[in-house]
Structure 1
Amino acid sequence: MARSSSGFVAGLTAAAVAAVAFLAYQASANAPADVSAKPRNTASAPAATTPGSPEKPAKDPLAVPANSGSGARVVYALAERRVWLVDQKGQATHTFSVMPSTVHPAPGTYTVTSRSGTVRGSDGVKIEHVVRFTTVQDVSIGFSAAVDGTLPTPDPSRKTGGIRMKRADGDAMWTFAAIGAKVVVVA
């Protein structure tokens, strides 16, 4: 019995070695000639430029919109669906994407007028870290995070004012934007 099981183990070992050798061959066939070269991602490669034309640098997500004022502030870019928390020096300390509400604030400068720890949103969802800064069409507009962590697209048939963010971003907003904090909305 010992003799046949050692033959079985030897067979399994030989099969494993053959499988590893085959996989190593496949990997080497797909490896670049120079493994120190950075791979090129053709899906995100920039469009060809004409000689002498400057290439567009990749946009820095921490770059605060130029037309957003100065000093400590919350910046909300409507078109980008993005928020920046900006310190007194004008540097973004945190940035994140948001899901806009169905009712939008006009570009301009506002201040945080009220805050709530946990409430029901105008869409019926339980929300937390609510930071309100204006009212449009009798709808309070503010930032909030759904307690269940979702970021659903709002129902376009309902007038809602909650600009939703992820819970971790809601924590950062809550810490940063006290009553009276400046909120700048840019197009």
Structure 2
Amino acid sequence: MARIGTGAVVTTLTASALALVTVLALQAKSSANVTPAASGKPGASASASAGASAKASAPKPVAVPARSGTGKRVVYALGAKRVWLVTAAGTATRTFTVQPSTLSPSAGTYNVYSHSADTRTGSDGVEIKNVVIFAQRGSTVFGFSSATDGTTPAPDPAKKTGGIRETLGDGQALFDFTVAGSKVVVIA
């Protein structure tokens, strides 16, 4: 009886495995290319399920809170951690969640008194931009800003600050929506 060396066995097994992987890859590629969209006619079940999927995943609009004032304004709901940019007609052009700091402003109506796109260091030590300041209580200043790295982490509970953080896109939208003197309504 002839003896087969270990090298020959390993070579044969490796070649067989590569051949199997190639066959499976070709099968996967050919099945991926045969779709209803590729044939030019989507199947009824494909379009129905796509429509149902889009409806299920579309976020429901969040209405502007009742009793949040009138006219053009920024509405900040403390409990919901959400901001609305509201037109003079009372329609929200954008709404988004925010990350509040350890201290919060009291409910009420305020006016923006500082509005700066400059990059600076926030009172929590984070580099921020698009700063919109609207209130102050004692030495704590309350305002919206975005961290330049785009993050919105929970604040350090040891630091008593009033920065309200939003994403870079939301921060830019809020900054563009406001000017010095713009109304900010804070609700519970």
TM-score (norm: length of structure 1): 0.71
**Corresponding residue for 1:76?**
76
In our comparison, the structure showing a higher alpha carbon Rg is: 2
CA distance in 1, matches of 2:70, 2:150: 32
**Corresponding residue for 1:173?**
174
Q: 3-state DSSP class of the match of 1:106?
A: coil
Alignment of 1:135 with 2:143, yes or no, is no
Q: Specify every segment of 5 or more residues in structure 1 that has no aligned partner in the other structure, as ranges.
A: 1-10, 25-33, 45-57
CA distance in 1, matches of 2:105, 2:60: 25
Structure 1 residue 70, shift from structure 2 partner = 0.9
How many residue pairs were aligned? 155
CA distance in 1, matches of 2:115, 2:129: 10
**Corresponding residue for 2:148?**
147
Q: Deviations over 1:1-37 (max 9, x none)?
A: xxxxxxxxxx87x9359945xx79xxxxxxxxx6565
Amino acid at match of 1:95: T
Amino acid at match of 2:168: R
Amino acid at match of 1:70: T
Amino acid at match of 2:70: S
CA distance in 2, matches of 1:35, 1:120: 51
More helix by share: 2
Aligned Cα root-mean-square deviation (Å): 3.2
Structure 1 residue 118, shift from structure 2 partner = 2.1
Q: Specify every segment of 5 or more residues in structure 2 that has no aligned partner in the other structure, as ranges.
A: 1-18, 33-44
CA distance in 1, matches of 2:26, 2:99: 52
TM-score (norm: length of structure 2): 0.70
Q: 3-state DSSP class of the match of 1:173?
A: helix
Structure 1 residue 176, shift from structure 2 partner = 1.0
Amino acid at match of 2:129: E
Post-superposition, which runs of at least 4 consecutive aligned residues in structure 1 deviate over 6 A? none
CA distance in 1, matches of 2:26, 2:112: 67
Q: 3-state DSSP class of the match of 2:170?
A: helix
